[in-house]
Protein backbone atom coordinates (compact mmCIF):
# COMPACT_ATOMS: atom_id res chain seq x y z
CA UNK A 1 0.00 0.00 0.00
CA UNK A 2 2.81 2.42 0.88
CA UNK A 3 4.56 1.77 -2.43
CA UNK A 4 1.35 2.15 -4.45
CA UNK A 5 0.62 5.65 -3.15
CA UNK A 6 3.89 7.21 -4.37
CA UNK A 7 3.94 5.45 -7.77
CA UNK A 8 0.22 6.06 -8.39
CA UNK A 9 0.66 9.78 -7.83
CA UNK A 10 3.62 9.85 -10.22
CA UNK A 11 1.72 7.87 -12.90
CA UNK A 12 -1.21 10.27 -12.64
CA UNK A 13 1.08 13.26 -13.27
CA UNK A 14 2.70 11.60 -16.28
CA UNK A 15 -0.75 10.66 -17.69
CA UNK A 16 -1.76 14.31 -17.46
CA UNK A 17 1.34 15.47 -19.36
CA UNK A 18 1.03 12.70 -21.98
CA UNK A 19 -2.63 13.52 -22.64
CA UNK A 20 -1.79 17.16 -23.21
CA UNK A 21 0.96 16.27 -25.67
CA UNK A 22 -1.29 13.80 -27.55
CA UNK A 23 -4.10 16.36 -27.72
CA UNK A 24 -1.58 18.78 -29.18
CA UNK A 25 -0.62 16.21 -31.83
CA UNK A 26 -4.28 15.64 -32.71
CA UNK A 27 -4.84 19.39 -32.99
CA UNK A 28 -1.83 19.76 -35.30
CA UNK A 29 -3.01 16.83 -37.41
CA UNK A 30 -6.50 18.33 -37.71
CA UNK A 31 -5.00 21.67 -38.71
CA UNK A 32 -2.87 19.91 -41.34
CA UNK A 33 -5.90 18.07 -42.72
CA UNK A 34 -7.91 21.32 -42.91
CA UNK A 35 -5.11 23.04 -44.82
CA UNK A 36 -4.59 20.04 -47.07
CA UNK A 37 -1.04 19.41 -45.90
CA UNK A 38 -1.87 16.09 -44.19
CA UNK A 39 -4.06 13.33 -45.59
CA UNK A 40 -6.89 11.80 -43.59
CA UNK A 41 -5.90 8.15 -43.18
CA UNK A 42 -6.03 5.16 -40.84
CA UNK A 43 -3.13 6.19 -38.60
CA UNK A 44 -4.90 9.49 -37.84
CA UNK A 45 -8.01 7.53 -36.82
CA UNK A 46 -5.93 5.29 -34.55
CA UNK A 47 -4.38 8.37 -32.94
CA UNK A 48 -7.76 10.04 -32.31
CA UNK A 49 -9.34 6.82 -30.99
CA UNK A 50 -6.49 6.13 -28.57
CA UNK A 51 -6.50 9.70 -27.24
CA UNK A 52 -10.28 9.66 -26.72
CA UNK A 53 -10.21 6.34 -24.84
CA UNK A 54 -7.33 7.51 -22.62
CA UNK A 55 -9.02 10.86 -21.94
CA UNK A 56 -12.30 9.18 -20.92
CA UNK A 57 -10.48 6.80 -18.55
CA UNK A 58 -8.50 9.70 -17.07
CA UNK A 59 -11.67 11.72 -16.52
CA UNK A 60 -13.41 8.77 -14.85
CA UNK A 61 -10.25 8.02 -12.81
CA UNK A 62 -10.32 4.37 -13.85
CA UNK A 63 -7.51 2.08 -15.00
CA UNK A 64 -4.94 4.86 -14.43
CA UNK A 65 -1.92 2.53 -14.86
CA UNK A 66 -3.34 1.36 -18.23
CA UNK A 67 -3.80 4.91 -19.57
CA UNK A 68 -0.05 5.22 -20.14
CA UNK A 69 -0.01 1.91 -22.04
CA UNK A 70 -2.87 3.08 -24.28
CA UNK A 71 -1.19 6.41 -25.05
CA UNK A 72 2.26 4.94 -25.71
CA UNK A 73 1.07 2.16 -28.01
CA UNK A 74 -1.36 4.50 -29.77
CA UNK A 75 1.56 6.71 -30.68
CA UNK A 76 3.60 3.62 -31.62
CA UNK A 77 0.87 2.38 -34.01
CA UNK A 78 0.57 5.89 -35.40
CA UNK A 79 4.30 5.83 -36.24
CA UNK A 80 4.28 2.31 -37.72
CA UNK A 81 1.16 2.87 -39.83
CA UNK A 82 2.75 6.07 -41.13
CA UNK A 83 5.85 4.13 -42.21
CA UNK A 84 3.72 1.51 -43.96
CA UNK A 85 1.68 4.13 -45.82
CA UNK A 86 4.61 6.40 -46.74
CA UNK A 87 7.22 3.67 -47.43
CA UNK A 88 10.03 5.73 -45.88
CA UNK A 89 11.86 6.10 -42.58
CA UNK A 90 11.86 9.88 -42.32
CA UNK A 91 11.69 10.98 -38.68
CA UNK A 92 11.42 7.31 -37.67
CA UNK A 93 14.25 7.42 -35.12
CA UNK A 94 13.13 10.74 -33.62
CA UNK A 95 9.52 9.56 -33.31
CA UNK A 96 10.49 6.28 -31.65
CA UNK A 97 12.89 8.00 -29.22
CA UNK A 98 10.13 10.44 -28.27
CA UNK A 99 7.83 7.47 -27.67
CA UNK A 100 10.47 5.69 -25.58
CA UNK A 101 11.06 8.87 -23.58
CA UNK A 102 7.37 9.13 -22.69
CA UNK A 103 7.34 5.47 -21.61
CA UNK A 104 10.41 6.10 -19.44
CA UNK A 105 8.57 8.90 -17.63
CA UNK A 106 6.31 6.23 -16.08
CA UNK A 107 9.41 4.68 -14.42
CA UNK A 108 8.01 1.21 -15.22
CA UNK A 109 10.80 -1.11 -16.31
CA UNK A 110 8.38 -3.89 -17.31
CA UNK A 111 6.49 -1.53 -19.61
CA UNK A 112 9.78 -0.43 -21.15
CA UNK A 113 10.94 -4.03 -21.74
CA UNK A 114 7.60 -4.97 -23.29
CA UNK A 115 7.86 -1.99 -25.61
CA UNK A 116 11.41 -3.04 -26.62
CA UNK A 117 10.21 -6.55 -27.52
CA UNK A 118 7.24 -5.28 -29.53
CA UNK A 119 9.43 -2.71 -31.28
CA UNK A 120 12.00 -5.36 -32.26
CA UNK A 121 9.26 -7.64 -33.61
CA UNK A 122 7.84 -4.81 -35.71
CA UNK A 123 11.34 -3.86 -36.88
CA UNK A 124 12.03 -7.44 -38.01
CA UNK A 125 8.69 -7.55 -39.82
CA UNK A 126 9.28 -4.24 -41.54
CA UNK A 127 12.76 -5.40 -42.54
CA UNK A 128 11.15 -7.94 -44.86
CA UNK A 129 8.62 -5.45 -46.23
CA UNK A 130 10.89 -2.46 -46.92
CA UNK A 131 13.33 -2.13 -49.83
CA UNK A 132 16.96 -3.10 -49.28
CA UNK A 133 18.19 0.48 -49.16
CA UNK A 134 15.79 1.21 -46.27
CA UNK A 135 16.43 -2.08 -44.48
CA UNK A 136 20.00 -1.11 -43.56
CA UNK A 137 18.81 2.24 -42.25
CA UNK A 138 16.07 0.50 -40.26
CA UNK A 139 18.63 -1.86 -38.70
CA UNK A 140 20.95 0.98 -37.66
CA UNK A 141 18.12 3.03 -36.23
CA UNK A 142 16.64 0.00 -34.46
CA UNK A 143 20.05 -0.59 -32.88
CA UNK A 144 20.13 3.03 -31.69
CA UNK A 145 16.63 2.70 -30.24
CA UNK A 146 17.58 -0.49 -28.37
CA UNK A 147 20.67 1.21 -26.98
CA UNK A 148 18.54 4.11 -25.83
CA UNK A 149 16.02 1.70 -24.25
CA UNK A 150 18.86 -0.12 -22.49
CA UNK A 151 20.04 3.13 -20.88
CA UNK A 152 16.55 4.35 -20.05
CA UNK A 153 15.72 0.97 -18.49
CA UNK A 154 18.10 1.71 -15.63
CA UNK A 155 16.80 5.27 -15.36
CA UNK A 156 13.25 3.89 -14.97
CA UNK A 157 14.38 1.19 -12.55
CA UNK A 158 16.34 3.53 -10.27
CA UNK A 159 13.75 6.28 -10.47
CA UNK A 160 11.01 3.84 -9.42
CA UNK A 161 13.09 2.65 -6.47
CA UNK A 162 13.82 6.21 -5.36
CA UNK A 163 10.15 7.22 -5.50
CA UNK A 164 9.12 4.16 -3.48
CA UNK A 165 11.85 4.75 -0.93
CA UNK A 166 11.01 8.45 -0.60
CA UNK A 167 7.30 7.64 -0.17
CA UNK A 168 8.05 5.07 2.54
CA UNK A 169 10.28 7.48 4.44
CA UNK A 170 7.64 10.20 4.29
CA UNK A 171 4.97 7.86 5.67
CA UNK A 172 7.31 6.71 8.46
CA UNK A 173 8.02 10.34 9.37
CA UNK A 174 4.28 11.13 9.55
CA UNK A 175 3.62 8.07 11.74
CA UNK A 176 6.50 8.99 14.06
CA UNK A 177 5.14 12.53 14.38
CA UNK A 178 1.67 11.21 15.26
CA UNK A 179 3.12 8.88 17.90
CA UNK A 180 5.11 11.77 19.37
CA UNK A 181 1.97 13.94 19.63
CA UNK A 182 0.12 11.11 21.38
CA UNK A 183 2.95 10.73 23.88
CA UNK A 184 3.02 14.49 24.53
CA UNK A 185 -0.74 14.41 25.21
CA UNK A 186 -0.21 11.60 27.70
CA UNK A 187 2.50 13.57 29.50
CA UNK A 188 0.24 16.63 29.62
CA UNK A 189 -2.60 14.64 31.22
CA UNK A 190 -0.16 13.08 33.71
CA UNK A 191 1.15 16.55 34.63
CA UNK A 192 -2.38 17.83 35.30
CA UNK A 193 -3.10 14.80 37.48
CA UNK A 194 0.13 15.42 39.41
CA UNK A 195 -0.83 19.09 39.99
CA UNK A 196 -4.23 18.02 41.33
CA UNK A 197 -2.60 15.48 43.66
CA UNK A 198 -0.21 18.13 44.96
CA UNK A 199 -3.11 20.51 45.64
CA UNK A 200 -4.86 17.78 47.63
CA UNK A 201 -1.68 17.08 49.55
CA UNK A 202 -1.33 20.79 50.40
CA UNK A 203 -4.86 20.79 51.80
CA UNK A 204 -4.01 17.78 53.98
CA UNK A 205 -0.84 19.49 55.20
CA UNK A 206 -2.82 22.60 56.12
CA UNK A 207 -5.21 20.46 58.17
CA UNK A 208 -2.25 18.79 59.86
CA UNK A 209 -0.73 22.18 60.70
CA UNK A 210 -3.99 23.38 62.23
CA UNK A 211 -4.13 20.21 64.35
CA UNK A 212 -0.63 20.89 65.64
CA UNK A 213 -1.60 24.45 66.52
CA UNK A 214 -4.55 23.10 68.51
CA UNK A 215 -2.28 20.73 70.37
CA UNK A 216 0.12 23.54 71.26
CA UNK A 217 -2.77 25.64 72.59
CA UNK A 218 -3.91 22.73 74.75
CA UNK A 219 -0.41 22.20 76.06
CA UNK A 220 -0.23 25.86 77.04
CA UNK A 221 -3.39 25.37 79.07
CA UNK A 222 -1.86 22.31 80.71
CA UNK A 223 1.26 24.28 81.65
CA UNK A 224 -0.83 27.02 83.24
CA UNK A 225 -2.74 24.40 85.20
CA UNK A 226 0.48 22.98 86.60
CA UNK A 227 1.55 26.40 87.89
CA UNK A 228 -1.80 26.90 89.55
CA UNK A 229 -1.57 23.41 91.13
CA UNK A 230 1.79 24.35 92.67
CA UNK A 231 0.31 27.46 94.30
CA UNK A 232 -2.94 25.94 95.46
CA UNK A 233 -3.20 22.35 96.67
CA UNK A 234 -6.93 22.81 97.18
CA UNK A 235 -7.55 23.07 93.45
CA UNK A 236 -5.44 20.01 92.59
CA UNK A 237 -8.36 17.70 91.85
CA UNK A 238 -10.08 20.18 89.54
CA UNK A 239 -6.90 20.98 87.67
CA UNK A 240 -6.08 17.29 87.27
CA UNK A 241 -9.50 16.67 85.72
CA UNK A 242 -8.99 19.57 83.32
CA UNK A 243 -5.54 18.30 82.48
CA UNK A 244 -6.97 14.82 81.95
CA UNK A 245 -9.52 16.26 79.54
CA UNK A 246 -6.73 18.04 77.75
CA UNK A 247 -4.78 14.78 77.45
CA UNK A 248 -7.81 13.10 75.91
CA UNK A 249 -8.07 15.91 73.38
CA UNK A 250 -4.38 15.49 72.63
CA UNK A 251 -4.86 11.76 72.02
CA UNK A 252 -7.81 12.51 69.75
CA UNK A 253 -5.89 15.09 67.75
CA UNK A 254 -2.84 12.85 67.61
CA UNK A 255 -4.92 10.04 66.16
CA UNK A 256 -6.33 12.44 63.57
CA UNK A 257 -2.85 13.62 62.78
CA UNK A 258 -1.74 10.00 62.33
CA UNK A 259 -4.60 9.34 59.92
CA UNK A 260 -3.78 12.48 57.92
CA UNK A 261 -0.15 11.44 57.81
CA UNK A 262 -1.09 8.00 56.43
CA UNK A 263 -3.35 9.52 53.77
CA UNK A 264 -0.73 12.07 52.82
CA UNK A 265 1.89 9.34 52.59
CA UNK A 266 -0.40 7.41 50.22
CA UNK A 267 -0.82 10.53 48.09
CA UNK A 268 2.94 10.97 47.97
CA UNK A 269 3.39 7.34 46.90
CA UNK A 270 0.78 7.78 44.17
CA UNK A 271 2.51 10.95 43.00
CA UNK A 272 5.81 9.06 42.87
CA UNK A 273 4.17 6.41 40.70
CA UNK A 274 2.90 9.15 38.34
CA UNK A 275 6.40 10.57 38.12
CA UNK A 276 7.75 7.09 37.32
CA UNK A 277 5.15 6.74 34.54
CA UNK A 278 6.14 10.16 33.22
CA UNK A 279 9.77 9.07 33.17
CA UNK A 280 8.85 6.02 31.09
CA UNK A 281 6.83 8.19 28.69
CA UNK A 282 9.77 10.58 28.35
CA UNK A 283 11.95 7.64 27.33
CA UNK A 284 9.36 6.61 24.73
CA UNK A 285 9.27 10.17 23.36
CA UNK A 286 13.05 10.25 23.30
CA UNK A 287 13.18 7.03 21.26
CA UNK A 288 10.44 8.27 18.89
CA UNK A 289 12.26 11.57 18.26
CA UNK A 290 15.55 9.69 17.76
CA UNK A 291 13.80 7.52 15.14
CA UNK A 292 12.40 10.67 13.46
CA UNK A 293 15.89 12.17 13.43
CA UNK A 294 17.28 9.03 11.78
CA UNK A 295 14.44 8.97 9.23
CA UNK A 296 14.89 12.62 8.20
CA UNK A 297 18.67 12.08 7.90
CA UNK A 298 18.13 9.09 5.58
CA UNK A 299 15.69 11.20 3.53
CA UNK A 300 18.36 13.85 3.11
CA UNK A 301 20.80 11.19 1.88
CA UNK A 302 18.19 9.98 -0.64
CA UNK A 303 17.94 13.53 -2.02
CA UNK A 304 21.71 13.52 -2.58
CA UNK A 305 21.44 10.22 -4.47
CA UNK A 306 18.72 11.68 -6.73
CA UNK A 307 20.96 14.67 -7.50
CA UNK A 308 23.72 12.25 -8.51
CA UNK A 309 21.39 10.45 -10.93
CA UNK A 310 20.23 13.78 -12.38
CA UNK A 311 23.86 14.74 -12.90
CA UNK A 312 24.33 11.48 -14.83
CA UNK A 313 21.30 12.28 -17.01
CA UNK A 314 22.73 15.75 -17.71
CA UNK A 315 26.06 14.21 -18.73
CA UNK A 316 24.27 11.78 -21.06
CA UNK A 317 22.35 14.70 -22.60
CA UNK A 318 25.58 16.62 -23.12
CA UNK A 319 27.17 13.61 -24.79
CA UNK A 320 24.10 13.14 -27.00
CA UNK A 321 24.22 16.82 -27.95
CA UNK A 322 27.89 16.48 -28.86
CA UNK A 323 27.17 13.38 -30.95
CA UNK A 324 24.33 15.21 -32.72
CA UNK A 325 26.67 18.10 -33.50
CA UNK A 326 29.26 15.73 -34.94
CA UNK A 327 26.54 14.03 -36.97
CA UNK A 328 25.41 17.40 -38.32
CA UNK A 329 28.98 18.20 -39.36
CA UNK A 330 29.29 14.86 -41.11
CA UNK A 331 25.93 15.41 -42.82
CA UNK A 332 27.09 18.81 -44.05
CA UNK A 333 30.17 17.20 -45.53
CA UNK A 334 28.00 14.64 -47.29
CA UNK A 335 26.08 17.36 -49.12
CA UNK A 336 22.66 16.56 -50.53
CA UNK A 337 22.84 12.92 -49.42
CA UNK A 338 23.30 14.00 -45.79
CA UNK A 339 20.45 16.51 -45.51
CA UNK A 340 18.00 14.01 -44.05
CA UNK A 341 20.57 12.84 -41.58
CA UNK A 342 21.30 16.48 -40.65
CA UNK A 343 17.63 17.02 -39.81
CA UNK A 344 17.67 13.93 -37.60
CA UNK A 345 20.86 15.11 -35.90
CA UNK A 346 19.31 18.50 -35.23
CA UNK A 347 16.23 16.89 -33.66
CA UNK A 348 18.44 14.68 -31.51
CA UNK A 349 20.38 17.75 -30.38
CA UNK A 350 17.15 19.52 -29.41
CA UNK A 351 15.97 16.49 -27.48
CA UNK A 352 19.29 16.34 -25.67
CA UNK A 353 18.99 20.01 -24.71
CA UNK A 354 15.41 19.45 -23.51
CA UNK A 355 16.54 16.48 -21.44
CA UNK A 356 19.32 18.58 -19.91
CA UNK A 357 16.87 21.40 -19.08
CA UNK A 358 14.41 18.94 -17.55
CA UNK A 359 17.17 17.43 -15.46
CA UNK A 360 18.17 20.90 -14.28
CA UNK A 361 14.56 21.71 -13.36
CA UNK A 362 14.23 18.47 -11.41
CA UNK A 363 17.55 19.19 -9.68
CA UNK A 364 16.19 22.58 -8.56
CA UNK A 365 13.11 20.91 -7.09
CA UNK A 366 15.24 18.29 -5.33
CA UNK A 367 17.42 21.03 -3.83
CA UNK A 368 14.31 22.78 -2.50
CA UNK A 369 13.16 19.50 -0.98
CA UNK A 370 16.59 19.04 0.54
CA UNK A 371 16.40 22.51 2.14
CA UNK A 372 13.00 21.64 3.62
CA UNK A 373 14.40 18.32 4.83
CA UNK A 374 17.29 20.17 6.50
CA UNK A 375 14.79 22.50 8.20
CA UNK A 376 12.81 19.48 9.41
CA UNK A 377 16.05 17.98 10.73
CA UNK A 378 16.69 21.12 12.82
CA UNK A 379 13.13 20.95 14.20
CA UNK A 380 13.55 17.29 15.20
CA UNK A 381 16.85 18.09 16.90
CA UNK A 382 15.12 20.91 18.78
CA UNK A 383 12.49 18.42 19.93
CA UNK A 384 15.26 16.11 21.10
CA UNK A 385 16.74 18.91 23.25
CA UNK A 386 13.29 19.64 24.72
CA UNK A 387 12.94 15.96 25.68
CA UNK A 388 16.32 16.08 27.41
CA UNK A 389 15.17 19.11 29.43
CA UNK A 390 12.00 17.20 30.31
CA UNK A 391 14.09 14.28 31.57
CA UNK A 392 16.06 16.62 33.84
CA UNK A 393 12.84 18.08 35.27
CA UNK A 394 11.33 14.62 35.84
CA UNK A 395 14.48 13.48 37.65
CA UNK A 396 14.33 16.58 39.84
CA UNK A 397 10.67 15.94 40.69
CA UNK A 398 11.51 12.30 41.44
CA UNK A 399 14.22 13.41 43.85
CA UNK A 400 11.83 15.84 45.56
CA UNK A 401 9.30 13.04 46.06
CA UNK A 402 12.01 10.94 47.69
CA UNK A 403 12.67 13.81 50.09
CA UNK A 404 8.94 14.06 50.82
CA UNK A 405 8.82 10.35 51.62
CA UNK A 406 11.70 10.78 54.06
CA UNK A 407 9.96 13.77 55.66
CA UNK A 408 6.75 11.80 56.16
CA UNK A 409 8.72 8.99 57.74
CA UNK A 410 10.07 11.54 60.21
CA UNK A 411 6.52 12.79 60.84
CA UNK A 412 5.38 9.25 61.63
CA UNK A 413 8.24 8.85 64.05
CA UNK A 414 7.35 12.12 65.76
CA UNK A 415 3.71 11.10 66.06
CA UNK A 416 4.70 7.78 67.62
CA UNK A 417 6.91 9.58 70.07
CA UNK A 418 4.11 12.03 70.87
CA UNK A 419 1.71 9.17 71.59
CA UNK A 420 4.22 7.66 73.98
CA UNK A 421 4.63 11.00 75.75
CA UNK A 422 0.86 11.42 76.06
CA UNK A 423 0.51 7.93 77.52
CA UNK A 424 3.29 8.66 79.95
CA UNK A 425 1.62 11.93 80.97
CA UNK A 426 -1.68 10.15 81.53
CA UNK A 427 0.05 7.69 83.80
CA UNK A 428 1.52 10.57 85.77
CA UNK A 429 -1.90 12.09 86.32
CA UNK A 430 -3.18 8.75 87.63
CA UNK A 431 -0.39 8.68 90.16
CA UNK A 432 -1.15 12.27 91.17
CA UNK A 433 -4.71 11.31 91.95
CA UNK A 434 -3.50 8.36 94.05
CA UNK A 435 -0.79 10.29 95.89
CA UNK A 436 -1.88 13.80 96.67
CA UNK A 437 1.07 14.25 99.03
CA UNK A 438 3.57 14.04 96.14
CA UNK A 439 1.69 16.57 94.01
CA UNK A 440 4.62 18.96 93.80
CA UNK A 441 7.10 16.47 92.41
CA UNK A 442 4.51 15.10 90.00
CA UNK A 443 3.71 18.66 88.86
CA UNK A 444 7.38 19.25 88.10
CA UNK A 445 7.61 16.05 86.09
CA UNK A 446 4.40 17.01 84.31
CA UNK A 447 5.82 20.44 83.49
CA UNK A 448 8.98 18.90 82.07
CA UNK A 449 6.98 16.48 79.99
CA UNK A 450 4.80 19.31 78.72
CA UNK A 451 7.82 21.30 77.61
CA UNK A 452 9.15 18.24 75.81
CA UNK A 453 5.83 17.84 74.03
CA UNK A 454 5.81 21.51 73.04
CA UNK A 455 9.31 21.14 71.61
CA UNK A 456 8.22 18.05 69.71
CA UNK A 457 5.14 19.80 68.34
CA UNK A 458 7.24 22.82 67.32
CA UNK A 459 9.59 20.50 65.47
CA UNK A 460 6.59 18.91 63.82
CA UNK A 461 5.35 22.34 62.69
CA UNK A 462 8.72 23.06 61.14
CA UNK A 463 8.61 19.69 59.33
CA UNK A 464 5.15 20.51 57.98
CA UNK A 465 6.40 23.87 56.67
CA UNK A 466 9.32 22.09 55.01
CA UNK A 467 6.93 19.64 53.35
CA UNK A 468 4.77 22.54 52.13
CA UNK A 469 7.84 24.18 50.56
CA UNK A 470 8.76 20.91 48.87
CA UNK A 471 5.21 20.55 47.58
CA UNK A 472 5.44 24.06 46.16
CA UNK A 473 8.66 23.16 44.30
CA UNK A 474 7.07 19.98 42.96
CA UNK A 475 4.02 21.89 41.76
CA UNK A 476 6.18 24.48 40.00
CA UNK A 477 8.13 21.69 38.28
CA UNK A 478 4.90 19.98 37.22
CA UNK A 479 3.51 23.26 35.81
CA UNK A 480 6.76 23.83 33.93
CA UNK A 481 6.63 20.30 32.49
CA UNK A 482 3.00 20.86 31.47
CA UNK A 483 4.05 24.10 29.74
CA UNK A 484 6.81 22.30 27.83
CA UNK A 485 4.37 19.67 26.53
CA UNK A 486 1.91 22.39 25.44
CA UNK A 487 4.70 24.24 23.61
CA UNK A 488 5.66 21.04 21.77
CA UNK A 489 2.03 20.44 20.76
- Chain segment 290-327, per-residue pLDDT in tens: 787 787 788 778 777 777 776 787 788 778 778 777 87
Which among 114, 130, 146 is the end of a domain? 130
Residue 106 sits in the same domain as residue 242: no
Q: Is residue 318 included in any domain, yes or no?
A: no
| Virtual torsion, Cα 107, 70, 148, 122, nearest 10 deg | 150
Q: Is residue 379 included in any domain, yes or no?
A: no
Q: Is residue 245 included in any domain, yes or no?
A: yes
Residue 215 sits in the same domain as residue 115: no
Which among 81, 115, 130 is the end of a domain? 130
Residue 206 above 50 pLDDT? Answer: yes
Average pLDDT (468-476) is 79
Q: How confident is the model at residue 88 (pLDDT cuts 50, 70, 90)?
A: low
Residue 488 above 60 pLDDT? Answer: no
- Return the minimum-mean-pLDDT range out of 37-41, 125-129, 414-418, 458-462: 37-41
* Domains contained in the chain, number: 2
Give the C-alpha separation, 111 to 103, whole Å: 7
User: What pLDDT sits at residue 219?
Assistant: 62
Q: Is residue 285 included in any domain, yes or no?
A: no
Give the C-alpha separation, 406 to 412, whole Å: 10
- Return the minimum-mean-pLDDT range out of 140-149, 232-241, 359-368: 232-241
Residue 258 sits in the same domain as residue 112: no
Average pLDDT (241-245) is 75
Q: How confident is the model at residue 208 (pLDDT cuts 50, 70, 90)?
A: low
Residue 216 sits in the same domain as residue 111: no
User: What pLDDT sits at residue 448?
Assistant: 78
Q: How confident is the model at residue 1 (pLDDT cuts 50, 70, 90)?
A: very low
Give the C-alpha separation, 254 to 194, whole Å: 28
Q: Is residue 148 included in any domain, yes or no?
A: no
Residue 116 above 80 pLDDT? Answer: yes
User: What pLDDT sits at residue 229?
Assistant: 66
Segment 118-125 long-range contacts (CB within 8 Å, at least 24 positions apart): 118/73, 118/76, 119/76, 119/145, 119/146, 119/149, 120/146, 122/80
Residue 266 sits in the same domain as residue 408: yes
Which range of residues forms the domain containing residue 103? Answer: 1-130
Average pLDDT (51-70) is 81
Comparison of pLDDT for 218 and 255, the residue scoring more = 255
Residue 56 above 80 pLDDT? Answer: yes
Average pLDDT (233-261) is 73
User: What pLDDT sits at residue 2?
Assistant: 45
Amino acid sequence: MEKTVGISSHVNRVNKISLRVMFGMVALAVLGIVRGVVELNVNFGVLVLGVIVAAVLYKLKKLEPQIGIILCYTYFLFIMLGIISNKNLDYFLVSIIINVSFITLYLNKKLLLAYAIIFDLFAVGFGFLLPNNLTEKLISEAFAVNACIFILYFVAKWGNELIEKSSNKEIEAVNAAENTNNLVDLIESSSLALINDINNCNENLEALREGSSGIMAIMDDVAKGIVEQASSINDISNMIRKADDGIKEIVKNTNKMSEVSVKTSDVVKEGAEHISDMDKQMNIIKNAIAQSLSTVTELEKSMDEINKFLSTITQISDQTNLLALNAAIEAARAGEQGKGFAVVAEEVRKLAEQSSEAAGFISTIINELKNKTTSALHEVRGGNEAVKEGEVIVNKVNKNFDNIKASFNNIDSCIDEEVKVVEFTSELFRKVQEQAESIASIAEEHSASTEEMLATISEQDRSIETIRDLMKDIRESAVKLDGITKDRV
